[in-house]
Structure 1
Amino acid sequence: MSFQTDKPAYQIFDAAGKKSSYKSILEKAQKADIVLFGESHNNPIIHWLQIELTKDLYRNLSESQSKGKKSKNNLILGAEMFEADNQTIFDEYLNDIITEKNFEAEARLWNNYKTDYKPLVEFAKENQLTFVATNIPRRYASLVSKKGLSSLDSLTDDAKRFMMPLPLEVDLKQPAYQNMLKMMGVHSTDENEKINEGVANFAYAQAVKDATMAFRINEYYKKESEKVENKNSIFLHFNGSYHSDNYESIVYYLKKYNPSLKIMTITAVEQKELDALGKTGVADFAIVTPVSMTKTY
């Protein structure tokens, strides 16, 4: 009888499928403008590595700033899990204006907030970091899913503050959206207008999320960079892996809004075995965890 001598919780690979390390992720992240940390929403190892990367980036940036005598840490956090129209509530909590009870009651938090995202929010609060609620309000994504992109035109100017600029161009030939359409039974996107409108709206709803997150990431990155002397900020963003895998979706719109950005991506993968990466080229780094890993929900 043979016994396994170790039970690794995760293995990191680079884009080419070569085994890599957390140190490599940290080193490359420090050279990026935007880091998109794609997650599996219920994976505890991924959430642990998210807070560890946040802490390490903050520490390293603080040490760098102490040498340059800058007063503000230039690490910015943001997440898909928080909606743009809750930014005021977010800011009020981070700045000790409202209580934790009020914040958690009013911010439409995900059910796994306390186990998976609260550590990030509390770290931002403790260290006075900007934390951006990047996602489009779900009611507007739902509106697009039901009535199409043109339905956003009927919203008030006040409502439009919480999304990407209109009109939005969506290329349904992007693989990320093609895959969604295939799930709905569409096998060709050679001519977008031939796709059933209701089915296309499913992909459009995803696109408004991607575009809004990209727009808000870029806008806050520019704004916060202006507050530090060397304009060298890092925006660390947390999102489901499908929003940044294959350098599409959020990455696509970020490049449209600001082609000069240096973007790094991380993806979360679950496999039976950790010895080799099943699919390469999906992100700059893949964090592979066993399928048997305990879930947070």
Structure 2
Amino acid sequence: MKNILAVSLLFSTFLAFGQQKMADHYKIYNTATGKTVTIDDIVADMASANVLFFGEEHNDTTAHYMELTILKTLIAKYPARVALSMEMFETDTQPVVNEYLKGLIREKNFITDARAWPNYKDYRPLVELAKASNINLIAANAPARYTNMVTRMGLSGLDKLDATGKSHLPPLPIDTAAGKYYQKFETIMGGHSSMPGMQIYQSQNLWDATMAWSIAQYLKVHPGIKIFQMNGGFHSEEKLGAVAQLKKYSPGLRVLNIASLSGTDINQPDWSKYTNLADYIILTDFKAAN
């Protein structure tokens, strides 16, 4: 108990210091009203929601601070009713994640065996907060070897996996979302719709579907839990991608999403770009180093 209280105090001190330091570097807007809001407002909105998606830019340090602050606030507002879900860990590493959160293995082994991202330092505070707060962390993403397989062989390649391999994925076949999501993907790909491009799009759908399935299955076993899902922005913007896949697996869920964007004018949003992007947008003045 003393250790938990000490860690909690450490996070509270860190967040208080961070809030003073970061306050001038971001603004949060409710896109329905165009007005600025606070993290407390978003967390209060979760009273009637099941899942909060945070679409980040992976190198934005301000966004990582915001994620930590949101998770801390969710835990305080809904004690014993929060779980963290992350794109940054893959489904087959869930036993390793669980072992670390329970204090059974060293952090060194966790980082290696859970295949933590190269910038794990950016996500470590969230993992440590989950550990200290005794909340679950869902390793939500599809194993990279399978997304790579789809990029090379198409979704039909997954049929060749054995039962163990398939157990790390959603039920096959994966729904390849058409329409607006594909159009967005084509735009990013430069308008190329060749077969390799289509297979890359199929791997994107596998990525989305696995994260959605991971959340849906967790909520089936743990009803009433608030899920805080972290992923790259494209996966959840406009409630497409992983959000749309989640709605197929669990139609009754209420989902909120945040889009975090860096290098923008935080005081004068271009609403022509942001209105339909998310329920909330976080604009930061972070600019990646060249």
Could you tell me the TM-score, scaled by structure 2's length? 0.86
Going from structure 1 to structure 2, the CA distance change for 1:233 and 1:132 (only over 3 Å counts) comes to same
- Out of 182, 185, 198, the residue aligned to residue 180 of structure 1 is 185
Structure 1 residue 238 corresponds to structure 2 residue 230:
yes
Query: How far apart are the structure 1 equivalents of 2:230 and 2:120?
Result: 13
1:179 Cα deviation after fit: 2.3
Structure 2 residues not aligned, in runs of 5+: 1-22
Q: 1:29: how far off?
A: 2.4
AA matched with 2:205: A
Q: Distance in 2 between matches of 1:257 and 1:110?
A: 28
The C-alpha deviation readout for 1:187-207, integer Å capped at 9, x for no partner, is 7xxxxxxx5322210110100
Residue 108 of structure 1 corresponds to which residue in structure 2?
115
Which structure is larger by alpha-carbon Rg, 1 or 2?
A: 1
Q: Partners of 1:183 and 1:295 in 2: how far apart?
A: 20
| Change in CA separation of 1:55 and 1:182 when aligned onto 2, cut-off 3 Å | closer
Q: 1:53 to 1:150 in 2, by over 3 A?
A: same
Contact 2:247 2:253 in 1 (8 A): yes
Q: RMSD in angstroms over aligned alpha carbons? A: 1.8
**Deviation for aligned residue 1:296:** 8.7
Q: Tell me the CA shift for residue 272 of structure 1.
A: 3.7
CA distance in 1 between partners of 2:54 and 2:228 (Å): 7
| Percent identity of paired positions between Structure 1 and Structure 2 | 34
Amino acid of the structure 2 residue aligned with 1:216: S
Q: 1:197 to 1:89 in 2, by over 3 A?
A: same
* Unmatched segments (≥5 aa) in structure 1: 1-6, 63-72, 188-194, 226-231
Question: What does residue 9 of structure 2 align with?
Answer: none
**Match for 2:203 among 198, 202, 205?**
205
Is 1:161–2:164 an aligned residue pair? Answer: no
> What corresponds to 1:39 in structure 2?
56
- Per-residue CA deviations over 1:166-186 (Å, capped at 9, x if unaligned) read 01121332x232222244454
Moved over 4 A (4+): 294-297
1:137 partner amino acid:
P
Matched residue, 2:217: 219
- 1:285 is aligned to 280
Seen in structure 2, the aligned counterparts of structure 1 residues 185 and 53 have a Cα distance that, compared at 3 Å, is closer
Aligned residues: 264
The equivalent of 2:177 in structure 1 is 171
Distance change (3 Å), C-alpha of 1:17 and 1:39: farther
Higher helix share: 2
Alignment of 1:116-131 (within 5 A): 116-131=122-137
